[in-house]
C-alpha cells in the first residue's frame, strides 16, 4: 500500500496502518495484524530504507 504503482500513488504509512486495522478480521488475519502492529515502526524504517521513489520517502518521513 505504501509503494507507488502505475495505477495509484503511495499511501502514507499512517493511512496504510489505519486500513490494515479497519480490515482486521475481514481482509487481514487478526493474528497477522496484531504481529504487524507490534512491529509497525520497524516496518516503516525498513520501507524508508528501501523506498523506490522520492515520493515514497517523503510520505514515510512525514
CB under 8 Å to 53, separation ≥6 — which residues? 4, 10
pLDDT at 49 over 90: no
Tell me how far apart the terminal alpha carbons of the chain are, to the nearest angstrom.
16
| Angle of CA points 38, 43, 47, to nearest 5° | 170
Taking the whole predicted model, whether its pTM rises above 0.85 is answered as no
- pLDDT tens figures, 4-48: 889 988 888 889 999 999 999 999 999 999 999 999 889 888 888
Residue position matching grid coordinates 487481514: 28
Q: Do residues 17 and 62 lie in contact, with contact meaning Cβ atoms separated by under 8 Å? A: no
Amino acid at each position: 500500500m505504501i509503494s507507488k504503482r502505475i495505477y495509484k500513488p503511495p499511501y502514507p504509512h499512517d493511512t496504510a496502518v489505519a486500513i490494515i486495522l479497519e480490515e482486521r478480521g475481514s481482509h487481514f488475519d487478526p493474528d497477522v495484524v496484531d504481529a504487524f502492529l507490534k512491529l509497525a515502526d520497524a516496518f516503516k524504517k525498513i520501507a524508508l530504507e528501501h523506498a523506490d521513489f522520492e515520493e515514497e520517502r517523503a510520505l514515510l518521513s512525514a
